[in-house]
Each structure stands twice: as structure tokens, then as C-alpha cells.
């Protein structure tokens, strides 16, 4: 790119609303603002001439940080790009960004969606998708298309890592009011990442199973787990959804707990059901550190009435 | 010989718009014979796919309308993948002559297993028969062999005309039985087959009528399948039935009762060599694929637990309910018919039948004995 030139420009000449090169999304870190206040910009941003003023190609965060620091004059690298060479400029910005940092999911989605307009299918497959770590399968294409269409609030939650990418696939089909209910739940409970994904997964399964909106099981579960202050207990909510999704398994666990209680095993002897009652093999364990403890445990086990063991193992 | 009353029996469920012929496959008689039946299809010669080639080809040619013809380079006869020894499997053998089908069942686990997206027919049949000659030559071993594990045995038989060739081969085998499994009614070649049909079993996969309508794509209706089964029985074939996968859904009891009642409108208990039953199960990673491919499908949103083999299975109490109802209903009509579970825990055997095979070998023996008993009784 031999048509690059370094020059001074004013921030007021830069169009911050233009997203032709959508390489950053999310909060500007205070560290960056502080660094710029202390030592200024070490590397000039890249700009492209627009009809009036300039578009940001690369360096949006630095320019935002400058703006927030109250600076107006900046040294930039300026490209006068002939029509048709936008692809090269985009590519340069992509790789320059990649050399510095990882993109968050919203940035990846925005870049990918922009790249879909600029690059051929072959270029996307060979260069852009691997660069953005987007696997080739259709589901990932749909995932990143969906993110760009999400509301600003949802995009913020994704960019901040509160909602993860696997959850995106599930909420992709949810309508605005369903997504609104989810955002409200996140705001109210502080649920994030793994636990949030588990809740979304269960809501999605319940909604599919009963062919209802995810709002229905969510509202029902929330209503039953609010404490006296009206706050939602996250663990109770997770458990409530699990009970709704696994009614037979829940009943079996409750039955087993009742039988175990009837057995009155001492605290140091542990009897476990088969995992999810699959396979029919129960597990008994106790710990001991000498002959006396061993004998004690054996005596206690020998005192168990065999009919009670039949009861434990009964599958009816 | 029985005349074929319904044109559907002569119709392939799959008429490809494009046929991809792998280099080296063009000269096989089966390739020529298939292409001669597809005069209007575009025929494209392709190199042997490697790496991402299948993915690239699927961008150019729709897997829904493309047939791939290729020689198979691995073993044709394989043990059924079954599942971990913790569940009982019947030691079935698969004759691997093709991959995929276009029926489009929402629950089909092949959606998550195959990296070749095209319906594929292996054309080097002589190699398959040569391998069978060697394998079946082993003394003292009995084989139950099916072609319907990675594909539907008959869905495009009017194009391939494979069934008569297989019946020819297995008709003379003393130590093997062939099972053709299908959800189609493309049985004309079976009915028209002029020779001795030996011990060939023709099997239909069955489900509740509402499941068939909702989840089984282009498959024939339950009644159509059973009408086809009755014709095959009349022609002398043994009939197998497979309730797999059983689904747990509102109204399942009535749905499965209806299907069982329907069976015995068309078949007697003595017509049926075996009935297998298996509840829906899938590898966890298949869930996303099923949902991607069938957005409105809710069959994976049930009470699934992780089985001892790592697959998602209905919680055992649900399986117990499904099995007890189905077995009770079948036994009302056919107390003597042999029913077995596919990939199931011995506890469920015990709870449903009051007995369980000690191991896979015993279950295998029970099924082998079914074949001998059936042969002896004609």
C-alpha cells in the first residue's frame, strides 16, 4: 500500500458513527485512556477518506480514548484508496487487529457480516473464517449472522462475556419479548456464563417439549423461587427448572432418599444409587483407619435387615 | 406369482437430479445399470474425495438431489457398532453397501455420524460378494446380516435392483440370514423375484402413526408398510418388525396401541420372525445437529440422562413404561412372537420380560435360534 501518508487531523473530522470497518465493539478500557493521557498515541490509527471527513479503518478504541481524554488533534495514517481496493484495506485492518488482540463475539460477528459483503465465498472459506476462528459448518454462519441482529443490550452482554456463544444458538430463535425476559433475569440475578447457559438450556428444552414460549416456564419458576424480599434465589431457580424438566427422575431421587433415610445408615457409611438410576449397580463406601473402625462399620452393615436392601434395590 | 397392485411398489423414493461418479467407478456394471435408469440426471465425474472435498462438493451439488457412486475400499461386512457392553447387543453384522437415505427422519442419528453428505451407493459389488465368500466360509459360525443400518435397504431399490442380487446370494447360504430393513414400500423386485428366496427377512421399522406423520419425512405410512409386509409374507419372506426409536410424547400409549393393532390386521404372529424394540437414544453431540436440521422438532427435549455408554437415553422409568406397554400389547395378539431389546440394560429386560440375556453372545444365540426355528417351521 504505497499510497499511505501520515498526516495530522482533528477528531471532529472523523465520522465515529461509520461502521464500514467494524473491528471494535464494547467498553474502552480505563487503562487505555490513562495510557493515552500519560504518553499519547504511540501508533497512528488508520483512516480512509469519506465523502466528508474520514472513516476509521483501524484504531477506533484509541481514537475513542483520545476523545474521552479531551484531545482533538491526532497524527493518523491516511489511505487514499481507489475504488475496488476496499478489500485490501479491510484485510490489512483485520490482520493488524488480530496481531494485537482477540476479538470478542460481537466484534467477530460484525467483522464476519461485513466480510460477507466484500469477500468471495472462496476467500471467506480460505482466509476470513479461519482468521476469525469461525468453523465451516452452517450453524456457525447462522450464529454470527444472528449476533449482528441482536439488540444493543444483548450485544453488550455477549461482548462482556456474560452470555456465551453456545447460548446464542439456543436464544437465536427467541422473539423480542422472550429475549427481554432473559435480559431482565440477568439484570435481576447476575446470572452469567455456565449457570446462565444451564438456565437457558433448560428453558429452551421446556419450551420445546411443551411447545410454549420460554417465558412461560421462566415466569412459573421465578414466581415459585422468590424469597420474602422478592429476590430470585438462583440455585432454587436452577433446581426448579430441573424438577420441571426431569419429573420422573426427581420422583425417583426423592423415593431413594426416603428409602435411605429409613435405612438409618451411620454418617460414615455412604450408599449411592446408580448414576441417574442407570444400570442397577449401587455403591457402598465407608472409610476406616484401623481394625476397630473396620469392625464397627462391618457390624453396622451386618445389622441391616436384608428386606430393607430389597426395598432399596426395588425398581417399582 | 403375485401381481404388484400398487405403482408405489415400483417407485424409488429417490430420483437424483445429479449423479457424481467417482473416478474408477464408471466401469462397474452397477454404475452403468443405475445410470441407464436415470436418463435425465446430470452425470458428473469426480476425483476420489479427500479432506474438505465432500464439503466443497456439497456447495456445488445439493445432497438432497445428488447420488454419489463410488467403489468401497474398506471391509463390507462389519460388526454392528452397537454400544458398550453395559447394554445388551445382538451381535448383528452389517453388509455395508451404501450410506444415507433421503427419507428425512428427524431422529436419524446418521445426521451426526456421516461426514459424506451424499446418498452413496457402493458399486463394486463383486468385491462385496468375494468378501462374503471368504467370511461365510468359516465353519460353525452363523451370521445375521443386514443392509439397513447406514441406509434404508429398499428406498432406491428400483434404481439399484440390489435386493434380488442379495437374495440370490443369500438364498444358497446355509449359515447366514439376510435382513432387508426399510420404511419404504419399494418391494416390487422382492415380489417379482423368480427363484427360491431362502431365508431372507424383510423388516419394517414401525412407530406410532403420529410419529410417522410428524418425524419420518417421506416414509410410507404405517398401513402402507404393513400392507407391503403382508405381500412379502405371502411371497414367502420372513417378516421382521422394529419399533426403534420409541418416543415418549403426549398420547404415546394410544399411538403405540394403534400401531400394534394395525400390525395384526395384516400379519399373524407366526408371520413375524422377531420384533425389536429400542427407545430413542443419541450421542450428545447429535442433539445440536438434529435441532439444526429440524428446527421445529422437539424430540431431544425430553427427560434424557447420560447412559452408561455416554449416549443420551430416556430415564429408565420412562423406558420401562414404554417397553411394558408395547410388549403387553404385542403379546395380546401374538403371545409366542420373539421380542428383544436393541442396546438395552439387563434391568429393563428383567423388569419387562422377567428374564435377561446373560451377555451379548446369549442374545445373539436367541436370535440365531429364531432363524433356525423359523426355517424349520417354514
Q: For residue B350, what is the enclosing H or E element?
A: helix B346-353
Contact B64, B120 (CB under 8 A): no
Higher-pLDDT residue of B246 and A18 is B246
Interface residues on B facing A, Cβ-Cβ cutoff 8 A:
52, 55, 59, 86, 288, 292, 295, 298, 300-303, 305-308, 313, 315-318, 320, 345-347, 351
The predicted structure's pLDDT at residue B377 = 62
Give contacts of A 15-74 with B, CB under 8 A. Answer: none
Phi/psi at B99 (nearest 5 deg)?
Answer: -135, 140
pLDDT exceeds 90 at position A291: yes
The per-residue pLDDT for range A90-114, each reduced to its tens digit, is: 998 999 899 988 999 999 999 999 9
- B104 falls within a domain: yes
The per-residue pLDDT for range B41-67, each reduced to its tens digit, is: 999 999 999 988 998 899 899 999 999
The per-residue pLDDT for range A240-270, each reduced to its tens digit, is: 999 999 999 999 999 999 999 998 898 889 9
Contact B231, B176 (CB under 8 A): no
Contact B18, B61 (CB under 8 A): yes
Pick from B302, B306, B345: which is nearest to A209 by CB?
Answer: B302
Chain A residues in contact with B346 (beta carbon < 8 A): 280
B237 CA to centre of own chain: 16
A139–B288 C-beta distance less than 8 A? yes
Residue B66: closest CA among B49, B91, B89, B51: B49
Taking the C-alpha atoms of A133, A136, A142 and A144 in order, what is their torsion angle to the nearest 10 degrees? 10
pLDDT exceeds 80 at position B74: yes
Chain A residues in contact with B86 (beta carbon < 8 A): 279
pLDDT exceeding 90 applies to what percent of chain B? 83
| Average pLDDT of the residues in B2-7 | 51
pLDDT exceeds 90 at position A48: no
Q: Rounded distance, CA A196 to CA A189, Å?
A: 10
Which region among A34-48, A274-288, B15-29, B263-277 has the lowest average model confidence (pLDDT)? A34-48
Q: For residue A67, what is the enclosing H or E element?
A: helix A60-69
The average confidence (pLDDT) of chain B is 93
The per-residue pLDDT for range A151-202, each reduced to its tens digit, is: 999 999 999 999 999 999 999 989 999 999 999 999 999 999 999 999 999 9
The predicted structure's pLDDT at residue A42 = 84
What ipTM did this prediction achieve? 0.88
The predicted structure's pLDDT at residue A189 = 94
Pick from B292, B307, B346: which is nearest to A138 by CB?
Answer: B292
The per-residue pLDDT for range A9-33, each reduced to its tens digit, is: 999 999 998 888 888 888 888 888 8
The predicted structure's pLDDT at residue A139 = 87
**A256 interfaces chain B, CB cutoff of 8 Å:** no
Beta carbons within 10 angstroms of residue A248's beta carbon: 18
**A135 interfaces chain B, CB cutoff of 8 Å:** no
A205–B301 C-beta distance less than 8 A? yes
Q: Which residue of B has its CA nearest to A248?
A: B317
- Where does CATH 3.90.1530.30 sit in chain A? 1-101
Q: Rounded distance, CA A137 to CA B250, Å?
A: 34
Q: Rounded distance, CA B93 to CA B95, Å?
A: 7
The per-residue pLDDT for range B189-207, each reduced to its tens digit, is: 999 999 888 889 999 999 9
Phi/psi at A284 (nearest 5 deg)?
Answer: -115, 135
The per-residue pLDDT for range B116-146, each reduced to its tens digit, is: 999 999 999 999 999 999 999 888 889 999 9
Chain A residues in contact with B292 (beta carbon < 8 A): 138-139
Q: Rounded distance, CA A156 to CA A145, Å?
A: 16
Query: Could you tell me which residues are beta bridge partners of residue A284?
Result: A271
A246–B303 C-beta distance less than 8 A? yes
Residue A203: closest CA among A188, A227, A187, A186: A186
A277–B315 C-beta distance less than 8 A? yes
What string of DSSP letters covers A11-39? GGGEETT--SS----SPPPHHHHHHHHHH
B2 — pLDDT class (breaks 50, 70, 90):
very low
CA angle B335–B182–B173, rounded 5-degree value: 80
B1 — pLDDT class (breaks 50, 70, 90):
very low
Residue pairs spanning A and B at CB distance below 8 A: 61
Contact B158, B125 (CB under 8 A): no
Find which of A201, A213, A245, A248 to mutate to test the B interface (most B CBs within 10 Å of its CB).
Answer: A248
| A1-101: CATH, from 3.90.1530.30, 3.10.20.600, 3.90.600.10, 1.10.10.10 | 3.90.1530.30
Pick the most confident of A36-50, B241-255, B279-293.
B241-255
Q: Rounded distance, CA B337 to CA B320, Å?
A: 20
Determine if residue B239 is left, alpha or beta; phi over 0 gives left, psi from -120 to 50 gives alpha, anything else beta. Answer: beta
| Average pLDDT of the residues in A110-135 | 94
- B18 falls within a domain: no
The predicted structure's pLDDT at residue B4 = 44
Contact A93, A23 (CB under 8 A): yes
Q: Which domain holds residue B319?
A: 7-11+72-377
CA distance A277 to chain B (A): 7
- What pTM does this model have? 0.90
Q: Rounded distance, CA A183 to CA A242, Å?
A: 21
Chain A residues in contact with B306 (beta carbon < 8 A): 275-276, 278
Burial environment of residue B147 by CB neighbours within 10 A (0 to 12, 13 to 18, 19 or more): buried
The predicted structure's pLDDT at residue B225 = 97
Chain B residues in contact with A120 (beta carbon < 8 A): none
- B108 falls within a domain: yes
B351–A278 C-beta distance less than 8 A? no
Higher-pLDDT residue of B251 and A58 is B251
Higher-pLDDT residue of A121 and B36 is B36
Instruction: Give the pairing type, strands B272-279 and B238-246.
Output: parallel
Residue B152: closest CA among B209, B110, B116: B110
Counts of helices then strands in chain A (DSSP H, E): 16, 7
CA angle A13–A1–A11, rounded 5-degree value: 15
3-state helix, strand, coil in chain A (%, to 5): 60, 10, 30
A1 — pLDDT class (breaks 50, 70, 90):
very low
- B372 falls within a domain: yes
B86–A246 C-beta distance less than 8 A? no
Q: Rounded distance, CA B138 to CA B143, Å?
A: 10
Residue A218: closest CA among A228, A201, A229: A201
- How many distinct structural domains can be found in chain B? 1
The per-residue pLDDT for range A57-74, each reduced to its tens digit, is: 988 889 999 888 888 889
Q: How many CA atoms lie within 13 A of B292 on its CB side?
A: 15
| Average pLDDT of the residues in B159-177 | 93
Q: For residue A179, what is the enclosing H or E element?
A: helix A176-189
Could you give the angle at which helices A152-159 and A105-118 cross, rounded to 10 degrees? 110
Contact B123, B31 (CB under 8 A): yes
> Which CATH number does the domain housing residue B86 bear?
3.80.30.30
Chain B residues in contact with A206 (beta carbon < 8 A): 301
B301–A206 C-beta distance less than 8 A? yes
What string of DSSP letters covers A187-223? HHH---HHHHHHHHHHHHHHHHHHTS-THHHHHHHHH
Q: Rounded distance, CA A112 to CA A94, Å?
A: 10
Please report the sign of the dihedral spanned by the C-alpha atoms of residue A262, residue A263, residue A267, residue A272.
Answer: negative
What string of DSSP letters covers B133-191? HHHHTSTT--EEEES-SSS-SSTTHHHH-HHHHHHHHHHT-SSEEEEEEESS---HHHH
A78 — pLDDT class (breaks 50, 70, 90):
confident
Query: Could you tell me which residues are beta bridge partners of residue B45?
Result: B21
The average confidence (pLDDT) of chain A is 91
Chain B residues in contact with A126 (beta carbon < 8 A): none
pLDDT exceeds 90 at position B355: yes
Q: Which residue of B has its CA nearest to A173?
A: B295
Amino acid at each position: 500500500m504505497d499510497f499511505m501518508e501520515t498526516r495530522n487531523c482533528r477528531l471532529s473530522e472523523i465520522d465515529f458513527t461509520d461502521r464500514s470497518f467494524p473491528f471494535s465493539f464494547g467498553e474502552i478500557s480505563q487503562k487505555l485512556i490513562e495510557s493515552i493521557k500519560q504518553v499519547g498515541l504511540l501508533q497512528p490509527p488508520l483512516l480512509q477518506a469519506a465523502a466528508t471527513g474520514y472513516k476509521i479503518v483501524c484504531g477506533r478504541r484509541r481514537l475513542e480514548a483520545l476523545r474521552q481524554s479531551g484531545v482533538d488533534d491526532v497524527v493518523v495514517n491516511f489511505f487514499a484508496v481507489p475504488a475496488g481496493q476496499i478489500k485490501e484495506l479491510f484485510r490489512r485492518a483485520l490482520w493488524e487487529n488480530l496481531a494485537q488482540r482477540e476479538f470478542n463475539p460481537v466484534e467477530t460477528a460484525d467483522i464476519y457480516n461485513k466480510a460477507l459483503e466484500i469477500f468471495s465465498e472462496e476467500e471467506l472459506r480460505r482466509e476470513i473464517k479461519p482468521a476469525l476462528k469461525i468453523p465451516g459448518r452452517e450453524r456457525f454462519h447462522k450464529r454470527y449472522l444472528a449476533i449482528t441482529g441482536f439488540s444493543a443490550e444483548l450485544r453488550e452482554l455477549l461482548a462482556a462475556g456474560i452470555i456465551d456463544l453456545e447460548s446464542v444458538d439456543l436464544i437465536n430463535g427467541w422473539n423480542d419479548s422472550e429475549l427481554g425476559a432473559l435480559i431482565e433475569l440477568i439484570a435481576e440475578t447476575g446470572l452469567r456464563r455456565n449457570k446462565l447457559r444451564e438456565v437457558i438450556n433448560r428453558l429452551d428444552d421446556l419450551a420445546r417439549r411443551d411447545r410454549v414460549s420460554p417465558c412461560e416456564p421462566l415466569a412459573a419458576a421465578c414466581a415459585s423461587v422468590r424469597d420474602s424480599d422478592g429476590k430470585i434465589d438462583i440455585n432454587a431457580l436452577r433446581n426448579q427448572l430441573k424438577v420441571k424438566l426431569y419429573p420422573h427422575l426427581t420422583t425417583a431421587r426423592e423415593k431413594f432418599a426416603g428409602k435411605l433415610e429409613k435405612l438409618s445408615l451411620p454418617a460414615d457409611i455412604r450408599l449411592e444409587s446408580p448414576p441417574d438410576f442407570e444400570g442397577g449397580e449401587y455403591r457402598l463406601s465407608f472409610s476406616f483407619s484401623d481394625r476397630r473402625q473396620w469392625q464397627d462399620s462391618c457390624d453396622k452393615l451386618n445389622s441391616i435387615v436384608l428386606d430393607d436392601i430389597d426395598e432399596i434395590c426395588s425398581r417399582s | 406369482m403375485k401381481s404388484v397392485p400398487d405403482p408405489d411398489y415400483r417407485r424409488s423414493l429417490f430420483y437424483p437430479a445429479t449423479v457424481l461418479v467417482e473416478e474408477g467407478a464408471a466401469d462397474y456394471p452397477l454404475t452403468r445399470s443405475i445410470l441407464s435408469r436415470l436418463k435425465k440426471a446430470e452425470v458428473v465425474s469426480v476425483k476420489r474425495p479427500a479432506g474438505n472435498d465432500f464439503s466443497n462438493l456439497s456447495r456445488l451439488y445439493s445432497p438432497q438431489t445428488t447420488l454419489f457412486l463410488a467403489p468401497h475400499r474398506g471391509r463390507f461386512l462389519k460388526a454392528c457398532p452397537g454400544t458398550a457392553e453395559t447394554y445388551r447387543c445382538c451381535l448383528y453384522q452389517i453388509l455395508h453397501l451404501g450410506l444415507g437415505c433421503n427419507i428425512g427422519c428427524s431422529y436419524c442419528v446418521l445426521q451426526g455420524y456421516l461426514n459424506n453428505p451424499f446418498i452413496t451407493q457402493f458399486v463394486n459389488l463383486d468385491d462385496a460378494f468375494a468378501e462374503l465368500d471368504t467370511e461365510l466360509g468359516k465353519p460353525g459360525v452363523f451370521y445375521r446380516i443386514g443392509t439397513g443400518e447406514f441406509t434404508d435397504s429398499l428406498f432406491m431399490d428400483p434404481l439399484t435392483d440390489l435386493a434380488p442380487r442379495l437374495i440370490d446370494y443369500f438364498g444358497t447360504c446355509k449359515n447366514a440370514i439376510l435382513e432387508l430393513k426399510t420404511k419404504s414400500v419399494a418391494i416390487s423386485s422382492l415380489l417379482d423375484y423368480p427363484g427360491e428366496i431362502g431365508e431372507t427377512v424383510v423388516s419394517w421399522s414401525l412407530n406410532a402413526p403420529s410419529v410417522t406423520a410428524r418425524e419420518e419425512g417421506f416414509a410410507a405410512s404405517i398401513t402402507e408398510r404393513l400392507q407391503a409386509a403382508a405381500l412379502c409374507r405371502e411371497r414367502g419372506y420372513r417378516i421382521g418388525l422394529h419399533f426403534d426409536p420409541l418416543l415418549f410424547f403426549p398420547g404415546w400409549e394410544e399411538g403405540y396401541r394403534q400401531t400394534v393393532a394395525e400390525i395384526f390386521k395384516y400379519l399373524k404372529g407366526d408371520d413375524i420372525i422377531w420384533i425389536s424394540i429400542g427407545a430413542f437414544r443419541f450421542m450428545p453431540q447429535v442433539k445440536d445437529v438434529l435441532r439444526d436440521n429440524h428446527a421445529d422438532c422437539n424430540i431431544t427435549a425430553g427427560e434424557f440422562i447420560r447412559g452408561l455408554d455416554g449416549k443420551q437415553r430416556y430415564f429408565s422409568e420412562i423406558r420401562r413404561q414404554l417397553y411394558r406397554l408395547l410388549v403387553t400389547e404385542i403379546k395380546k395378539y401374538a403371545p409366542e412372537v420373539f421380542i428383544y431389546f436393541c442396546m438395552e440394560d439387563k434391568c429393563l429386560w428383567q423388569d419387562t420380560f422377567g428374564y435377561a440375556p446373560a451377555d451379548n453372545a446369549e442374545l445373539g444365540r436367541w436370535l440365531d435360534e429364531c432363524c433356525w426355528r423359523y426355517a424349520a417351521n417354514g
